[in-house]
Structures are given as C-alpha cells and as structure tokens.
Chains A and B, each alone.
Chain A
Amino acid sequence: MNATSITSSASEAISTAEIDASCRVPLFTLFVSGAVWLVVASIFGLLASLKFHSPGFLSDCAALTYGRVHPVATNALVYGFGVQAGLGVALWMIARLGGTRVAQPWLISLGGKLWNLGLLIGVIGVLAGDSTGFEGLEIPRYGVVFLFLGYLLIAFWTLVTLHSRKVRALGPSQWFLLAALFWFPWIYFTANYLLLSHTPIRGVTQAIVAWWYSGNLNLVWFGLVGLAVTFYFIQHLMNRPLYSGNLALFTFWTIILFASWSGIPASAPLPAWLPALSTVATVLTVITVLSVMANVHKTCGRGCSQTENPPPGKFIAFGAIAFVVSWLMNIANTIPQINSVTNFTWFTVGQWQLNVFGFFAMTMFGAIYYIVPQVTGVEWPCAKSPRRHFWLAAIGIILIALPLAIGGIVEGFNWRNLKMSNVDVAKNALNFLRVSTVGELLILLGNLMLLGNLIGLSVRYYRIHFVPVYKEATAELKPAEGKP
C-alpha cells in the first residue's frame, strides 16, 4: 500500500521472505491444481467447440455429448481455476499487505484439496448425467458439500491471516478481498440450498435464484477479486501509490450495491419488475467501469507505455482492458432494445468468456507469474515462456470473444428474419463459432504452458532445496582421516 500505512515497528516486522515462505504450501496446492483444471477446462472447451464442426464427433458416447462436455468446461474454468487461483492470490496479497505470516498454511492447503476433490467428484457426476441443470451450478449435491467445506476452510484461515495483520489500516485491495471472501459462501450456500435441498424452491423462482447467483459470481466475486489484484499490482509494478483511494472506495460500493442486483436477463419470463430492476442496476455498473478506468489511467499516467512491460504487467493490463469491454458488453446486453437482438445468441457467451477468461483469468495469470518466483525464490525455467503464454492467451481470447460477439449480433438479426429457416440461422451462426475454435486451441496451448511452467519451476525448486539435503543425508560416511 502507500508508504504511510506501513506503521509497524521494526522489532515485530516480519521479513517479506518469511511471509512469502509461509504462503508456499497453500499456493502450491491452489495454483498447480488450478492450472490442471485450466487445462481440463480448455480440453473440454475444445471438444465442445469441435462438435460444431461435425455434430457426429464423439456423439455416440453419452458422457461426451455436448450438453455434458460444455458444463464441465465452464465449471472447470470457473471453480477449478477461477475461484481457486483467486483464493490463492488473495491469500498472498492479504499476507503481504498485512505484513504477516499465513495462518495455518497446511489447513488452507487441506481446504484446497477438499475443494479439488469436490470439483472432481462433481465433474464426474456431470459427465455421468448428474448435472443439476442450473447454469453455473451444475455440480451435483455430493460435490457441492466438499467444495463448500473446502472454501470455508480456506476462507476462514485467510480471514484469520487478515485479522492477525501487523499493518492495521486496510487498503482498497483488502476491502475488495474481504468482501469477496464473505460473498461467495453466502451466494453459494443460498443457491445450492434453495435449489438442491430435499425440498427445493419451486417453479420459476429456481431460475431466478440461478440467475442471481450467476450475476453475483460473474460480476461481484470476479469483479472484486480481479480488481483487487489489478489495483495491487498496478501500484506494485509501477512502484507508485494508487491515484485515489476514495475513487477505489467508490468502485467498491458501486460493485457491491449495483452489480449484486444484476443477472436477470431483460427478457426473462418473470413479473416485469424483476428484469427491470436488474437492468437498472446493471446499467449503473457503468459507474464502476468509469471509476476503474479513471483510477487505473491516472495511476499509470504515462508510465504504461514508457518501459517494456514485464509479463505480469502485460497480463494485468490486458485483464483491465477486457474488464472494461466485457462489463460494457454486459451493460449493453441488459438494455431491452439491444437484448431483444443479442439475448439467446453467442453474444452472451462471448461476453462471459471475455469476463471470466479475458479479465479474471488473465489477471490471475499475471499475479501467478509474479507471485510464484517470489514465494519459491526460484525463477521460471524458461524466461520467454510467460511472454509466449501471454500472446497465446491474448490472441486466443480475442479470437473467441470477437467472433462470438459479432456472430451473436448477426444471429440475433437472423432469428428475426423470417426468410431464414431455423436450420439456416443455426448453421450461419456456427460459422462464427468455428473461428472461435482456433481461439480455444491457442488458449489450450497457453494453459499447457502455464502448467508446464509451474511443474518446471517445482522441479527446479525440488532440485535446489531437496536434492542437496537428500544427498547430504544419504552420503556415504567417509572414514575419519588419521585412523587406520
């Protein structure tokens, strides 16, 4: 944070190296499994995308039908990478900003393992046909229990870490993270309890809860965590304080007050007040976007373009731009006149991808590329690799979001054109989707690079820290000199 907030006395100050070391165990669990899920997500995403090139592709197997592969891809991306990596980065930032060691790193790591177990069970369940049928909440009940417990374990000890901070004053990034830590269990519990308990709510209220949850996860949770990381790293990498803490506070309030009411589509078959309220709230998030733009722009000033940006900065800058574009797309999509064209089209998918991958995942990549060498004290095995990953991911997501957005608008107008039959409209829209398959492929390659980098770095770490110890321990005892 800014220099004035560092008030702790030198005697109790904990060195950065010590703080980083305390993060190592949980971050290893969260980041490596996050990267594995990311690869899983892009493999399934690619499979789903390939089905549009040839509908017969792998269609003989029930588990690999589009309606099961697609939710696996989205859940692996959101819960496997998104939430998991977000929690890891949040933990590190909270420890660093608070100048304190992570509380109970092994329990956090255990939480991460529960989370992964839950997701694995859930994904297998979805492939076996046990999906709940609610978009964004497909994981069946028996997986949700583990996910929820895992989250609670991680979040609780992260909050304890926050509580035991040595630097008392909270900065903007910490507000965002604190709110996010508390936000997720509430929305996740509400949605799963109301939809999947033995006596679920009935009728269209099910859809309302699922929409409410998705809006809160995609905008509020990803927004809060993503922007916390953006604000932190802008200061950290530019080596200057945030332009305005008050503006960041304003951003914070607009997210929790407005974005939390979004999510209900403008055309939803509900009493008119619900979509209307959601539209108004979503349109108001334009203030969030503007305040973030102003703050980031003023903080960077001219500095952004002057020096060669290292990979973490590149990722985070891309994430910030994707944030602005995807939130503006989301606003456009809730205006009834525009929604009547774009709703139910690939436009919404493009917007979702741009938000979850373009903004959130990219921001997390930047943070991971910065944090991991700090925490382990080991450099990335291949210095050029993060840069290559950046270009693959950036071009990949552009090749997904742009064709889908344009294709969605075309599709929307085609559905209104009665001269085109249903089959014609669907086939026409698939042309755009096919371009996005190239994007999926590039993203898969990029994700493999991230996983490869993390594994390579772990091997290096192992070689540096464990091999010498092992050698020493198992070295042949030389007979002492001077004896016969």
Chain B
Amino acid sequence: MKYGPLVFLAAFFALSASWCGLVLTPQIQLGRAVQETNSVVKTDLYPAGRSGLAREGLEVYRANGCAYCHSQQVSQKGTLVDVILTAAGKNPMDVAAALNEAQVGTFSGPSVGAGLPKTVLRNVPMEKASVLANVLKKAGATAELHLVPVGPDIERGWGARRTVAEDFIADATVMPGSQRVGPDLANIGERKPDLNWQLVHLYSPSSAMAGSPMPSYAFLFDKKKIGRQPAPDALKPIGEFVPPAGYEIVPKPAATALAAYLISLRSDTPLYEAPLTPAAPATNAPAK
C-alpha cells in the first residue's frame, strides 16, 4: 500500500460495497413499497395514511425533536398461540377426556361446553397448540388458534405486534427514534385517543400523568383571559389539570396538529409479516 491510487481503490471498493449493500439494496427492496392490502383483513389499505392535520403534526414532532426521547418501534420476542375452544361438539365427554389427557387443566364432561368460547391453552408454541387442536378436532370439538405476539414491549402495552417496515410507508420524515427517555409512541393513538388528554399532556405533562419528567410544551399554547364566551377548543380540566381562574388555555394550531399526529399513531393492524389475531370484538355469546 505504498501508492495513493491503491489506497484510494481499496477505500472505493469497500465503500461501494457498503453503499450497494445498505443503501441501494434496501432501496430496491423497500423503496417503492406502497400502501397495499397486505393486511390480513384484505379489504383494508395499509397503512391508512395520515390526515392533513396529522401530517402537519409530524412536522411539529420533527421540529421539536420529540424523537430524541420517544421511539416509535415496538419490538417482539416471538409469537405464541392461544387455543380457544369454540364449540364442544356432540360429545363433550370425549372433549373433556382429550383436554385432561393433554394436561391443560381438569375438565369434566358437562362443564366443558359452558362459557364458550374459552381459552383452554394460553401462550404456547405453535407445535403444542396444533397438537391439541388436532386432538380436539378428533373428539368432535371446534377450536381456534389465536396468534399472540409476545415480548416486553407488548406486555407493557406499547403495541399488539412488532413494528415492521410497512408501518412507515405513509410518513414523510421517518423518525423511529433511538431512545426511550419516555415510553414508545408507536401506538399512542391507540392507548390515548382522547384529544383533550393529549393536549393537556403537552401543556402540563405531570398533571395528565402524575410524576412525568417530560418538559412542558406550553409554548404551543396561548393563555388567554376568558372573554364573553369561552373558546371552544380551550383545554378542559382533566386529572390534576385545572386552568387558572379566569383564564383559559387555548392550543395554537401547532399543538392541535401535534395532538392529531399523536392520535394518528397506531400500528396494530395484523400483517403477514407480523401476524396476530386481533382481540375479538364484543360477541353475543352468552355470558357465563
């Protein structure tokens, strides 16, 4: 390596390899992804895209560097399966015997059909679940397998499944974040869909969330004397938050946009890359 051109060639070769691998190839694989009906529910276009107001809110999120303290990526350790007995069939004694044999609990013949659908096996690997499902099928019962993503983030309630590349398709500045000074926000809209809560939390975080170390974003709000008629969009009291007497706290457009963006943050649609069985909607099955 005594000559400059050799060193240059070495660096050129190494950097082009890295560039092709980590810039060009991902661009080919993911760069043209569009909203698709890739969700398990075929009719939905995913991701749905954000409203104009929420897109403005993303700009506020970017300008104020929210991503330095909040990530938007839920991680997942694996996927487990729940076995749900939906119908005991004509021969509940056999079903009970099968369940007892599989050692998933103690069942007696007559009670096995009560309170259906019920989860008979929780959080097991797919192999174990499908064995039981087969046994139940043979005994004449009907069972469903529900996919349950698991991991510390999911258990903390930050999302129903892991975040995947597709979740970011609709966003203009992608800010997955690198730190969790505060909680993950990938599904904050799912957890806190209340606009007033979001605004109060931005204005005075510790009143909406006791003890929160988040700084206030009061500069996104106006404190006004209440006129003849209170402003319709003024913050309403919630938790410990009460506006000072005679005054009202009115969000500036940036605050409303940011709150709209936060509410728009939800990524729990089942996808083929990250499957899950959504929580069953309220059924009309007889209550136990």
| Chain A interface residues (CB < 8 Å from chain B) | 51-52, 55-57, 59-62, 65-68, 70-71, 129-135, 162-163, 168-170, 174-175, 178-179, 182-183, 186-187, 190, 194, 200-209, 212, 216, 249, 252-253, 256-257, 260-261, 263-265, 267-271, 274, 277-278, 340, 343-346, 348-349, 411, 415-416, 418, 422-424, 426-427, 429-430
Contact = CB atoms under 8 A, between A and B. Distances in A.
Nearest to B216: A59
B194 interface: no
A260 B178 contact: no
A411 B69 CA distance: 14
Q: How large is the interface on B (under 10, 10 to 19, 20 to 34, 35 or more residues)?
A: 35 or more
Nearest to B220: A62
A178 B19 contact: no
B71 interface: yes
Contacts, number: 226
A51 B215 contact: yes
Contacts of B64: 62, 65, 67-68, 129
Interface in B43-70: 61-69
B67 A179 contact: no
B63 A131 contact: yes
Interface string B128-155: 0000000000000000000000001101
A277 B22 CA distance: 9
Interface of B: 1-4, 7-8, 10-12, 14-15, 17-19, 21-23, 26-27, 29-33, 61-69, 71, 73, 75, 77, 152-153, 155-156, 162-165, 167-169, 171-184, 205-206, 209-220
6 contacts: A55-B213, A60-B218, A170-B3, A340-B152, A422-B182, A426-B213
Contact of B179 (A174, A344, A416): A344
Contacts of B165: 203-204, 269-271
B182 to A, nearest CB: 6
Report, nearest first, the 7 A-B pairs whose CB atoms are least far apart. A67-B65, A129-B63, A256-B14, A133-B62, A179-B11, A260-B18, A344-B180
A5 B77 CA distance: 56
Contact of B22 (A179, A252, A264, A348): A264
A75 B175 CA distance: 18
A111 B212 CA distance: 46
Nearest to A177: B7
B18 A216 contact: yes
A203 B210 CA distance: 35
B111 to A, nearest CB: 32
A57 B216 CA distance: 10
Contacts of A340: 75, 77, 152
